[in-house]
Amino acid sequence: MPRTLEEIHREHADSPALRGLVGVLHEKLQLRSRYALLEYEAAMEGRSTCSELYRVMSRIEADQIARLSAALVIELQSEDS
């Protein structure tokens, strides 16, 4: 079973659905990795509303990442069976 998103993307080049799932998951992981810094910077500027928004957005992204990951696992397992 492939271990990285890049490997999954490469090994399933013939499946637009899986490539799309991997692409969206990759983008969400990239975005979520930025939220902590953005939250910190907003707090340092005294922009508590922005800081809280970044915190909330990070939680939302975490939920979406979990759902996308679960869907990807299911899809990959169904291919292996």
Q: Tell me the three-class secondary structure of 2-47, residue by residue.
A: CCCHHHHHHHCCCCHHHHHHHHHHHHHHHHHHHHHHHHHHHHHCCC
Report the C-alpha gap between 68 and 49 in whole angstroms.
28
Q: For the segment 6-61, what is each residue's pLDDT rounded down to a tens digit?
A: 888 788 778 898 889 999 999 999 999 999 999 999 999 999 999 999 999 999 99
Q: Are 35 and 62 in contact (CB under 8 A)?
A: no
What is the pTM (predicted TM-score) of this model?
0.82
For the chain, domain boundaries: 5-80
Cβ burial of 8 (10 Å; 0-12, 13-18, 19+) is buried
